[in-house]
C-alpha cells in the first residue's frame, strides 16, 4: 500500500508538472478605465426662452444643499427660488408651484447644455415656450448691434413716459425707471395695473434690451434711440402678447403719466350705504361673508388678488405682516382670489401653496376666475375691477374708506416704499 501510494503520488506530480510546462501564459487582464462622473446640474447657466421677439435670456443658479438640489432664477437684484429640482437620468424638472409652472429639459451627454420646454397654466390652458441653457456665466445679451448713423446718448438712466400700442389699436401708458451699474441696465416699467418686475439687460450702440423671467412671467423689451432722443421699440410677453412702445425722457419733478390709483375704482351706484359686500367659500369650503361677526366693529382690509399675479405675490407678505402687527388692535384681512382655471380643487391647492409661501393666517376665499369682467359681476359693490391686486379699506363703521387699484412692487424702488407707507398710514388712521 505504501509503494502504490508513493507511485501514484509521483505520477500525479509528473502529470501536473508536464501540464504546467505546456500551458500557455495567461493573457493579461485589460485595464478598465474609471467611469466618467455623471454630469451634474450644479453651477451657473445662461438660460433662454424662444420668444417671438428672439431670445429672452435670464440666469439660473443650481447648487446642492445638504444633498438636495436647489435652483434660483436671477433678474437684476431679484432671485426667484424654484420650489423643487428633480433629476431622472438626464431629464431635469424645475418647478415653481406658486405659478403652476415648470421647466422640463434634457441634459446633453457632456453636461454642458439643457434643452426642453417651459410650461405654465393660463386661463386658456397650458402655455409653453422652448427653453435652452448653456453652462457658465455669460452676458445676458450678446448679439452684435450695428452702430447708429447718428449720435446717441451715452446712458438712458432716469425716468421715462411710455405709450404702449396693442395690435387692436388700443393703447395704455407706462412709467419706466432705468439705471446702469457695472455695464448692465436694471429697471422696471410701472403701469396703471402694476409693474413689469425686475428687468435686466444692456444699452449699447443706441439699442436697449431688457428681459425678465420669474417662473410665471416672461418679458422681453427692445428699443432704439431716435435722433430726437426718444425711444421706440417692441414688448413681448410669453409667446402670445406683443405691443409696440415709444418713450420720452421725463424731466425732474415731472408728474407721472399714470392715473391716481386711489381714484381708479369707485363704489357702484347701488351701494348707497357705502358698504362692500362679499360672500365666498374659504379653503375648507365654508362660506365667509362681510356680515360675519368677526368683521363687526373692525377695520377690514380686503385684497382682491390672484395667486398667478406677480404683484399680488409682492403684496402678500406685507399683508401677512400687517395682519400680525395690527390684528390685536382690530384689523381683519381677507383675500378674495380670482384664479385661472375655475377648477375648485386645483384653485384651492394654489391657495394653500400661496398661504404657506407667504405665512398667511387670514382667510383666503375662492371668489371666481381671473377675467376682470366676470370678477366685476361677482363684486357688484364696485363699478369695475381694473387690476390685481385691488385693496379695499373698510372702517369700523362698515363703510368703505379707500380703494386702491394695482400695486407698485419692490422693483419700483421709492414708488413701492411710498405706496406701502401710504397704505400703512391709512390703516393706522382707521384703527
Give a yes or no: residue 28 inside a domain.
no
Say yes or no: 304 and 378 in one domain.
Answer: yes
Cα–Cα distances in angstroms (integers) from residue 165 to residues 123, 185, 248, in the given order: 23, 24, 15
Say yes or no: 284 and 399 in one domain.
Answer: yes
Measure the CA–CA gap between 81 and 315, rounded to whole angstroms: 17
Task: Decide: 336 and 365 in contact? Cβ < 8 Å.
Answer: yes
Local structure of residue 248 (DSSP, 8 states): E
Q: Supply the CATH number for residue 288's domain.
A: 3.40.30.10
First to last CA, the chain: 118
Give a yes or no: residue 291 inside a domain.
yes
Say yes or no: 245 and 291 in one domain.
Answer: no
Domain that holds residue 314: 279-430
Say yes or no: 165 and 125 in one domain.
Answer: no
**Final residue in a domain of this structure, among 249, 268, 288:** 249
List the pLDDT tens digit at each of the 431 positions of the chain. Answer: 333 334 333 323 333 444 444 555 656 655 555 544 556 899 999 999 999 999 999 999 999 988 899 999 999 999 999 999 999 888 999 999 999 999 999 999 989 999 999 999 999 889 999 999 999 999 999 999 999 999 999 999 999 999 999 999 999 999 999 999 988 999 999 999 999 999 999 999 999 999 999 999 999 999 999 999 999 999 999 998 999 999 999 999 999 999 999 998 888 877 778 999 999 999 999 999 999 999 999 999 999 999 999 999 999 999 999 999 999 999 999 999 999 999 999 999 999 999 999 999 999 999 999 999 999 999 999 999 999 999 999 999 999 999 999 999 999 999 999 999 999 999 999 99
Residue bearing cell 408728474:
255
Give a yes or no: residue 55 inside a domain.
yes
Local structure of residue 267 (DSSP, 8 states): B
In 3D space, the residue among 256, 208, 257, 214 whose CA is nearest the CA of residue 234 turns out to be: 208
Give a yes or no: residue 317 inside a domain.
yes
Say yes or no: 123 and 171 in one domain.
Answer: no
Say yes or no: 287 and 420 in one domain.
Answer: yes
3-state secondary structure of 305: strand
Measure the CA–CA gap between 111 and 106, rounded to whole angstroms: 10
Give a yes or no: residue 18 inside a domain.
no
Say yes or no: 306 and 399 in one domain.
Answer: yes
Say yes or no: 111 and 183 in one domain.
Answer: no
pTM, two decimals, is 0.88
Q: How far is CA 372 from the centre of its chain?
A: 21
Give a yes or no: residue 16 inside a domain.
no
Say yes or no: 307 and 366 in one domain.
Answer: yes
Q: How far is CA 123 from the centre of its chain?
A: 17
Give a yes or no: residue 13 inside a domain.
no
3-state secondary structure of 198: coil
Residue 268: per-residue pLDDT: 84
**Final residue in a domain of this structure, among 135, 167, 182:** 135
Q: Supply the CATH number for residue 61's domain.
A: 2.40.128.120
Say yes or no: 223 and 289 in one domain.
Answer: no
**Final residue in a domain of this structure, among 227, 249, 271:** 249
Work out how many domains the chain is built from and give that number: 3
Q: Which residues pair with 59 in a beta bridge?
A: 46, 74
Contacts of 119 (CB under 8 A, 6+ apart): 101, 102, 104, 126, 127, 128
Say yes or no: 291 and 382 in one domain.
Answer: yes
Give a yes or no: residue 105 inside a domain.
yes
Say yes or no: 198 and 296 in one domain.
Answer: no
H or E, element range at 231: strand 231-237
Amino acid at each position: 500500500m505504501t509503494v502504490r501510494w508513493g507511485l501514484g503520488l509521483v505520477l500525479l506530480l509528473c502529470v501536473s508538472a508536464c501540464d504546467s510546462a505546456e500551458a500557455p501564459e495567461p493573457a493579461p487582464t485589460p485595464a478598465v478605465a474609471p467611469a466618467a462622473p455623471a454630469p451634474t446640474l450644479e453651477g451657473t447657466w445662461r438660460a433662454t426662452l424662444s420668444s417671438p421677439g428672439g431670445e429672452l435670456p435670464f440666469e439660473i443658479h443650481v447648487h446642492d444643499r445638504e444633498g438636495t438640489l436647489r435652483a434660483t432664477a436671477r433678474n437684476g437684484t431679484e432671485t426667484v427660488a424654484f420650489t423643487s429640482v428633480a433629476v431622472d437620468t438626464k431629464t431635469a424638472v424645475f418647478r415653481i408651484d406658486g405659478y403652476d409652472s415648470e421647466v422640463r429639459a434634457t441634459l446633453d451627454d457632456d453636461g454642458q447644455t439643457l434643452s426642453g420646454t417651459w410650461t405654465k397654466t393660463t386661463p386658456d390652458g397650458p402655455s409653453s415656450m422652448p427653453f435652452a441653457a448653456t453652462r457658465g456665466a455669460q452676458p445676458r445679451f450678446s448679439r452684435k448691434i450695428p452702430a447708429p448713423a447718428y449720435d446717441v446718448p451715452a446712458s438712458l438712466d432716469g425716468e421715462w413716459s411710455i405709450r404702449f400700442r396693442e395690435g387692436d389699436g388700443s393703447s395704455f401708458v407706462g412709467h419706466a425707471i432705468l439705471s446702469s451699474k457695472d455695464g448692465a441696465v436694471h429697471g422696471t416699467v410701472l403701469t396703471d395695473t402694476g409693474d413689469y418686475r425686475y428687468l435686466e439687460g444692456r444699452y449699447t450702440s443706441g439699442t436697449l434690451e431688457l428681459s425678465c423671467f420669474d417662473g410665471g412671467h416672461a418679458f422681453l423689451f427692445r428699443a432704439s434711440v431716435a435722433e430726437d432722443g426718444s425711444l421706440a421699440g417692441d414688448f413681448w410677453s410669453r409667446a402670445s402678447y406683443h405691443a409696440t412702445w415709444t418713450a420720452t425722457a421725463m424731466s425732474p419733478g415731472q408728474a407721472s403719466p399714470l392715473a391716481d390709483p386711489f381714484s381708479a375704482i369707485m363704489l357702484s351706484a347701488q351701494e348707497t350705504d357705502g358698504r362692500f359686500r362679499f360672500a365666498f367659500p374659504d379653503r375648507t369650503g365654508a362660506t365667509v361673508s362681510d356680515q360675519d361677526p368677526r368683521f363687526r366693529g373692525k377695520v377690514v382690509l380686503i385684497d382682491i388678488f390672484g395667486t398667478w399675479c406677480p404683484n399680488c405675490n409682492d403684496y402678500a407678505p406685507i399683508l401677512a405682516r400687517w395682519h400680525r402687527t395690527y390684528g390685536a388692535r382690530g384689523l381683519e384681512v381677507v383675500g378674495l382670489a380670482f384664479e385661472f382655471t375655475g377648477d375648485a380643487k386645483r384653485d384651492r391647492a394654489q391657495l394653500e401653496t400661496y398661504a404657506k409661501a407667504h405665512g398667511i393666517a387670514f382667510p383666503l376665499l375662492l371668489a371666481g376666475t381671473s377675467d376682470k369682467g366676470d370678477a366685476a359681476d361677482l363684486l357688484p359693490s364696485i363699478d369695475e375691477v381694473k387690476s390685481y391686486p385691488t385693496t379695499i379699506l373698510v372702517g369700523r363703521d362698515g363703510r368703505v374708506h379707500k380703494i386702491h387699484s394695482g400695486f407698485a412692487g419692490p422693483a419700483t424702488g421709492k414708488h413701492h416704499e411710498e405706496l406701502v407707507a401710504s397704505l400703512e398710514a391709512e390703516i393706522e388712521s382707521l384703527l
